[in-house]
A and B are shown apart, each in its own frame.
Chain A
Amino acid sequence: MTSKKAKTAFELAMEKIDRMPKLDKKEIEKQNKKELAEKSEAIVHRYFHGSLKIQNLEQEISQFDNNEQPMVRKNLLNQLKESIGLIDREMNTKVLAAIQQLDGKVDLVKINSDLDNIILKYQHQRQKEYANLEKEELKQLQKMGIAGSAVAPNIQKSENWLLTEEKLKNQFDQKLVKIREMLP
């Protein structure tokens, strides 16, 4: 009868690790990048939701290894830039303030003014298109025998509105791309 020594839990775990496919250098780098992107996203999320103050952004970056910090800073700037939108001006102000905090060279006055200009034009155009469509839809409802001061068309479900809105958004998103290009 042959006696076989039972393996310890540690030995079993090591055997399991040995059997796992080894990651090559490129894969490890890719994995690290992904992790840093996720961590950066979490920082931006906390900043937007008020649980991280603007003056603590640098402190968050400093908690990463020295060689990771430039990548985290770049991620944060990219994610902030992508958050610039056509609707929420308050959010845009918050985004630009954070970008300036992370890169003091930004000319916020010019960018803020250009951005405000785009948003005002977008909102003006959007309201105009909305009002035109509202008139048209009211006429359609009247033709169907639905009228009176209590009637409002349901523009949000109108296919015409969805198409108009998408066209407008695409048109003005192009202008936002230029703003993003002016940022670090």
Chain B
Amino acid sequence: MKLLNNLFAYTWNGQDNNCNTYVFANALDNNRHLVIDPGHIKTPSTGEAALERLLSEMQMDGLQTEDVGMVLLTHCHPDHFESARYLQENYQALVAIHEIEGAVYAHYGGTADFLLRDGELKLGKKKPFLLNVLHCPGHSPGHVAFYWAPEKVLIAGDAIFYQSTGRTDLPGGSPDQMKQSILRLSEMDIEVLLCGHPYGHPGIIQGKKDVMENFDFLKQHIL
């Protein structure tokens, strides 16, 4: 589904757990696409063909899967990264994850072509596509969010959901870090908040007012 400009959102609506995927179409050189969190290949409990579904939805939107040129991962959990290797091996897409989680990703059999840290990411040679990488640990030690400044879009991964946050009880998780991360993200100028899962809500919060209300809810009830 086209969300705005060249940003497409593929919210997961299957029965099993899987993440939402976001795609910046033609953002890279040679009109290749940038995919954030491609999710599972097949979901673990019900075996739903998640990647097949994602690629088919992208094709319906006119995005050719062989044009996927890069995959950025918000964190190293299989429901976010599993398909990255497929896209890397089949379409020569480059894969990146935060530097803290590069070794964990390798442990799962993945190879990051480069690593991420807090700062600015410039993609493309002639007219670079810019994203801010925000290290926001809590759900996992090397969790990042991506901020697209021109449209004030925050892709929050599993840091923030609608009226909820990501779990902090998984290995490497930390409630204190999660609190600091959410407070940091709440300071940003956000018009569109894109969450990593559709828990009880598609996970797309649009409009500054709704985004702020969601942060206020988290501050009051969860942090």
Contact = CB atoms under 8 A, between A and B. Distances in A.
B112 A150 contact: no
A84 to B, nearest CB: 25
B114 A154 contact: yes
Nearest to A140: B114
Contact of A148 (B29, B94, B115, B122): B122
Contacts, number: 58
Nearest to B146: A150
Contact of A156 (B102, B117, B133): B102
Contact of A146 (B106, B123, B132): B123
A148 B212 CA distance: 29
Interface residues of A, number: 14
Interface residues of B, number: 27
A150 B113 contact: no
B114 A146 contact: yes
A150 B120 contact: yes
Contact of B103 (A144, A145, A153, A156): A156
Contacts of B106: 156-157
Interface in A47-89: none
A149 B112 CA distance: 17
Nearest to B129: A145
A147 interface: yes
Contacts of A152: 99, 114-117
**Chain A contact residues: over half helix, strand or loop, or mixed?**
mixed
Contact of B118 (A144, A145, A150, A154): A150
B172 interface: no
A149 B118 CA distance: 7
A153 B116 CA distance: 8
Contacts of A156: 102-103, 106
Interface string B128-142: 101111000000000
A156 B110 CA distance: 13
Contact of A154 (B29, B115, B122, B131): B115
25 contacts: A145-B28, A145-B29, A145-B123, A145-B128, A146-B114, A146-B122, A146-B123, A147-B122, A147-B128, A149-B117, A149-B118, A150-B116, A150-B118, A150-B132, A151-B115, A151-B117, A152-B115, A152-B116, A152-B117, A153-B115, A154-B111, A154-B112, A154-B115, A156-B102, A156-B106
